[in-house]
Chains A and B, each alone.
Chain A
Amino acid sequence: MTDNILEVRDLVKHYPIKSGMFGRVVGRVRAVDGVSFSIPRGSTMGLVGESGCGKTTVGKTILRLTDKTSGSVTFDGKEIFNLSKSEMRSLRPRIQIIFQDPYSSLSPRLPVSEIIGEAVKEHHIVPDAELDDYITQVMRACGLQPYHKDRYPHEFSGGQRQRICIARALALKPDFIVCDEPVSALDVSIQAQIINLLSDLQKQFGMAYLFISHDLSVVEHISDAVGVMYLGTMVEYASKRELFKKPLHPYTRALFSAIPMPDPTVRMDRILLKGSIPSPANPPSGCKFHTRCPNCMEICKTVDPEPRDFGGHTVACHLYDHGTP
């Protein structure tokens, strides 16, 4: 229990759909519908899925940026939704987030030293006299030069901006960082720089990451454990090696086979999924994947499969109702 920095149990987040003059609730968007996982200290968990599957909502709810509907999020032994405002505030520096778009997540009016230093000052991470040196040190660790301090975000390229975002998160000495698609907006060669930086920093400072991405190859590279989400539920959860060697859920398999390989001699047997992801406001009955599943059975249309654990490899699919795969 204690060696997990974060534990998420049956997390549910529904957004109400309001309509009419009095804001009557006419429906609910089931953004996250029962997700459980835990992240050990200093390790990385990857979260993959298509857009609209609720992976960003999971990240936001963990940070208590939005309220949960039900379930629990335990950070370092404390249930974060039971904390008072001041307790939450003292916890904030320990959980940080890096956003997807480095163009819109930095204030255009603040110089870099302010962007990085603002929260450091606020939370008294270092004495005021050492603040400047501390910022220099953090910027060095993230591959930025000290003379960048007085510049504004528009003077930087996308890769450098993402470094600023990382420096901002790192400056608070966090134990846990949510990386919400940190490299999706970057070029391939810059992507590699940022991924290397993230793993170097993890070795140096021992933070845990929740790495949210739709790019399976990036997730495979950086993660220790991987969860696959579909329409608000986690359909498969296993260690990286296990998952990539032996994907069990039909959705995971389809996702793997859909990745184009950078090798013209390889021709993969592609599992083409039909249609697109259904609306989370009106999810299908039974297994949520049954409308697109190539192995759909009768039972899938009515009964929602329970997650089953096969020695650390959890999968929610009726194919494995009778014994091990």
Chain B
Amino acid sequence: MRKENKNANYISARESRKISRDNRRVTDQLEKRLNRQHVPESEYLCQMRDPKNVVEFDRLSTSFFTDIGVVKAVNGVSFDVPQGKTVGVVGESGCGKSVTSLSLMQLLQRPQGQITGGEIRLNLGDKAIDVAKTPSYVMQHVRGNSVAMIFQEPMTSLNPIFRIGDQVDEVIQLHTSLDKDAVKKRTLEALEMVGIASADRVYSMFPHELSGGMRQRVMIAMALSCSPRLIIADEPTTALDVTIQAQILDLLRNLKDKINASIMLITHDLGVIAEMADYVVVMYAGRVVEKGTAKEVFLSPAHPYTVGLMASKPVINREVERLFSIPGSVPNPINMPDYCFFRDRCDQRFDRCAGPYPCEVQLTATHKVCCWLHEGAKGGEAK
């Protein structure tokens, strides 16, 4: 038994060298494309399918070329983020939700991490670009300006040796042509906007002098300082206490309306999603398994994974004898099966599930699910 198991994960040094050689060939080519200078705009400009959307992910595939094989971290993900709305992306760790957002920012760990297929159409107002084809030097101006990101760990995402003011100033200096005093004024405004009472004092403080909640507020101030069209919040409250989480969520909700931005909220906490999101995208093992409005997904979940996820979370004032638990764990990302990735953990699997990966089935105008259970259901038709 044990020997078999060892063999399944074992690769020789020779095999590993061959894999990394092949990988380098692919990544070198992709890198070269991204690092070009003076690329004509026509190459990466594109048309939004719906001009009301800020971002459209269209069959995005992102892979990591590792020495033990190619990991398809994101595998054909499509969803839209409409203007002024909050889209919640939910899933377990390793399901590709963070990689999706990093692809949009072109912040993947390069050269191993590469966008290998699909489009990410980003609406910049007067024009739209396809991030998958955009060279790095153009992305530099987009990042932090049109799209900003709030990271999970406010402890590690601020530089410990610079004062808060300098760090926020830097962002504004990079993206505007204001003079020094105007930059400082704007920083103080941003700090006040996120509910920091003594902005003057915090301006000259170091990160270690602030509490976790305050640091996260500074991160939000930094993200908002250039009035982005889209804010990506990657687990913004996971490291915080519940009472502080409530403060930060409240703040995000109010600010979003104030500057009319969209939020792409990435979290594994279903409660946070239910409270914040207008639309919900459920991801599993690099694919979208279900998407729809928050009401549709929470009140009538269609995919067995979504159903299981909701049943496995204990809820206050809902007594159950035993929590539902999804058996097993996520499959190995290097050798993904060719049938539905969730089949081996699913309690509703049937003969059909042994077939190819299920197509997206439309249940209502906004509610879509990838599962054979719903094939041809409710008048929807498979693409």
Give the B-binding residues of A (Cβ under 8 A).
50-51, 147, 150, 157, 159, 187-193, 195-196, 199, 214, 216-218, 220-221, 244, 254-265, 270, 272-273, 276-277
**A263 contacts B298, C-beta separation under 8 Å:** yes
Find chain A residues with CB under 8 A from B359 CB.
none
Find chain B residues with CB under 8 A from A272 CB.
246-247, 250
CB under 8 Å from chain A, chain B span 235-259: 241-247, 249-250
- Is the CB of B161 closer than 8 A to any CB of chain A? no
**Given the complex of chains A and B, what is the CA–CA distance between A260 and B92 in angstroms?**
18
A-B interface, 5 closest residue pairs, ranked by CB to CB distance from nearest: A260-B271, A192-B312, A192-B325, A221-B314, A258-B246
**B214 contacts A220, C-beta separation under 8 Å:** no
Contact of A196 among B299, B317, B322 (CB under 8 A): B322
Could you count the A-B residue pairs with CB atoms below 8 Å apart for me: how many are there?
Answer: 124
**B274 contacts A244, C-beta separation under 8 Å:** no
With most chain A CB atoms within 10 A of its CB, the pick from B295, B298, B308 is B298
- Is the CB of B365 closer than 8 A to any CB of chain A? no
**A244 contacts B268, C-beta separation under 8 Å:** no
Find chain A residues with CB under 8 A from B315 CB.
217, 261-262
- B interface, size bucket: 35 or more
**Given the complex of chains A and B, what is the CA–CA distance between A254 and B316 in angstroms?**
14
**Given the complex of chains A and B, what is the CA–CA distance between A264 and B274 in angstroms?**
5
Find chain A residues with CB under 8 A from B313 CB.
188, 191-192, 217, 262
**B314 contacts A217, C-beta separation under 8 Å:** yes
Contact of B294 among A218, A221, A264, A270 (CB under 8 A): A264
Find chain A residues with CB under 8 A from B272 CB.
260
**Given the complex of chains A and B, what is the CA–CA distance between A189 and B316 in angstroms?**
17
**B268 contacts A187, C-beta separation under 8 Å:** yes
**A216 contacts B329, C-beta separation under 8 Å:** no
**B271 contacts A259, C-beta separation under 8 Å:** yes
**B268 contacts A261, C-beta separation under 8 Å:** no
Find chain A residues with CB under 8 A from B244 CB.
50, 276
**B250 contacts A195, C-beta separation under 8 Å:** no
Contact of A259 among B299, B312, B316, B323 (CB under 8 A): B316
**Given the complex of chains A and B, what is the CA–CA distance between A254 and B314 in angstroms?**
19
**A260 contacts B299, C-beta separation under 8 Å:** no
**A258 contacts B242, C-beta separation under 8 Å:** yes
**Given the complex of chains A and B, what is the CA–CA distance between A258 and B250 in angstroms?**
11
Find chain A residues with CB under 8 A from B92 CB.
187-190
Given known A147-B2, A264-B298, contact A244–B316 (CB-CB < 8 A): yes
**B242 contacts A218, C-beta separation under 8 Å:** no
**B246 contacts A192, C-beta separation under 8 Å:** no
With most chain A CB atoms within 10 A of its CB, the pick from B93, B242, B298, B326 is B242
**B324 contacts A192, C-beta separation under 8 Å:** yes
**Given the complex of chains A and B, what is the CA–CA distance between A214 and B212 in angstroms?**
16
**Given the complex of chains A and B, what is the CA–CA distance between A188 and B312 in angstroms?**
7
Find chain A residues with CB under 8 A from B316 CB.
216-217, 220, 244, 256, 259, 261
**B308 contacts A189, C-beta separation under 8 Å:** yes
